[in-house]
Structure 1
Amino acid sequence: MLVGLGLGPGDPELLTLRAVRLLKSADRVFVPGKLAYDLVAPYAKAEILDFPMTRDESIIKERMRENALKIAPTAKRGLAVLGILGDPNFFSTFSRLCEVMKEMYPDVESRTEPGISAITAFASAAGVSISEGFTVADGREPKSMILLKVRRPAEAVERLKREGYTGFTLVERMYMNGERVYTRDFPETGDYFSVLYARR
């Protein structure tokens, strides 16, 4: 098993309790740099992997394959954790690594554990309240949308289909009792604690 673990924005006190538990129980921990290394050091010995900051796809692919080779032996037999600053689901190298792992080692399962993302950390650091809709992008045209508090999921999905979205995932009461995940047959009425993901 390979787990992409969010380490938060850089403050050691912003690691989650689950992050600490996973770091302590991992058979091996990997990190992408010195800052992440320092964050996990109180809980686990880690190996720093090279994730180059470049737009050269050939270099990125080569490094991902090299990192997959280092991670695979542990992930095949036990728990390998890759600790990443922020959250492993937001503009993270973890998704790229998982693509390569799936190609090279299709039998290795992978998942993520969330951390405090740069988005929510920014709101606290800047002293701003993000209480209305907003767009997050890395300079490219956004291909997905996230809607919160979706009280009429089926209706929302049909509206987004007309706008060109083709893939949908609805999660209600995530990390709570009664968590439900839908990728089709969306209910007419939804829970207040709901998140709808749509992708073009």
Structure 2
Amino acid sequence: MTVYGVGLGPGDADLVTVKGRRVLESVATVYSPGRLSRSVALEHVAESKIGDLEFPMTRDPDELRSAWKDAATEVASEAREDDVAFVTLGDPNVYSTFGHLRRTLDTFHPEIELEVVPGVSAMTAFATALDVEVEAGTGLALQEAEGGSVSTDPDRMILFKVTDAPATYETLTEAGYDVQFGRRLFMQQGETVVTDDPSDVDDRDYYTLAYAERRGLERDLATAEFDVEGTAKREEST
């Protein structure tokens, strides 16, 4: 039998992939590590099919290892009888809790088969929500920004876990970046916010990200010329 790591996407139940939905419908149990992923999964399966896993709110490594060993034991026990799924927001292999389960299963239950079903990640969904185009050939760095600590080397960055938006904004604007923030993008829970004003997202929220682009970047694209022509034509018609 198999444990499927299923990415649920950024939080909108309609953004679960077709394969992800099929897996959720086919397995015996759908394990959820948290309230938000549970609520998305419930749009696709009955509540009786959900298996909740409890994890302590701590950074203590011993407590966390103990919790993951218990979770892996439960998941492996069910997986010996039938296929099961472990769901996570975003993609299972990108800043996800699924990595902890996979490592623990590999160590203590190596006989269990694992398969990952990718999901839409906030790192790609942000571009649509913020109306940002990441052009072909563009470099794009990903980094966490918890507490306002960020690097100012890359030309373009996606920052997530932005828990101190004002400090992040100050650091980046002083370093020559334009900055946009997005909170709970494509999520059904909570208010979605897209803004370039850090005061709009100054309360701590784990699901806040930012896009930073160095001012004055040149875009060497054949069709970039159309932007200039289109602007001129619109001005002529008004």
Q: TM-score, normalised by structure 1?
A: 0.65
Decide whether aligned partners of structure 1 residues 53 and 85 sit closer, same or farther in structure 2, where only a CA change above 3 A counts.
Answer: farther
Alignment of 1:1-16 (within 5 A): 1-16=2-17
Match of 1:77, SS? coil
One-letter amino acid of the structure 2 residue matched with residue 138 of structure 1: E
Match of 1:112 among 109, 116, 119: 116
3-state DSSP of counterpart to 2:141? coil
**Structure 1: gaps (5+ residues):** 142-200
Structure 2, unaligned runs of 5 or more: 151-238
State the shift of 1:14 in Å: 0.7
The question of whether the paired residues in 2 share the 8 Å contact of 1:29 and 1:82 is answered with: yes
For the residues of structure 2 that align with 1:111 and 1:138, how far apart are their CA atoms? 27
Report which structure shows greater RCO (CA 8 Å, sep ≥6).
1
What is the letter of the counterpart of residue 23 of structure 2?
L
Q: 2:88: which partner in 1?
A: 84
Q: Which residue matches 2:143? A: 137
Counterpart-to-counterpart distance in 2, 1:59 and 1:22:
31
Alignment length (residue pairs): 141
1:55, distance to aligned residue in structure 2 (A):
2.7
Cα shift at 1:31: 0.7
Q: Of 127, 131, 141, which aligns to 1:127?
A: 131
Partner AA of 1:63 in structure 2: A
How far does residue 20 in structure 1 lie from its aligned partner after superposition? 0.9
Deviations along 1:88-140, one digit per CA (max 9) or x if unpaired, are 01011111111111111110111211000010111111111122111113369
Aligned mate of 1:61, from 65, 72, 81: 65
Q: Which residue identity is paired with 1:43?
A: H
Distance in 1 of aligned mates of 2:57 and 2:15? 25
1:53 CA displacement: 4.9
TM-superposed deviation, 1:16 = 0.8
Paired residues of 1:5 and 1:82 also in contact (CA < 8 A): yes
**Most deviating of 31-40 and 111-120:** 31-40
What one-letter code is carried by the residue in structure 1 that aligns with 2:122? A
When normalised by structure 2's length, the TM-score is: 0.55
Q: Which residue of 1 aligns with 2:158?
A: none
**Partner SS, residue 94 of structure 2:** coil
Structure 1 residues 19-68: Cα deviation after superposition (integer angstroms, max 9, x where no partner): 11001000111011121111111332212212445432112111101111
CA deviation string 1:119-175 (max 9, x = no partner): 01111111111221111133699xxxxxxxxxxxxxxxxxxxxxxxxxxxxxxxxxx
Aligned sequence identity (%): 35
| 1:42 lines up with 2:46 in the alignment | no
Structure 2: how far apart are the matches of 1:2 and 1:65? 15
Decide which structure has the larger Cα Rg and report it.
2
Task: Identify the residue that residue 23 of structure 1 maps to in structure 2.
Answer: 24
Comparing 73-82 and 107-116, the one that deviates more:
73-82
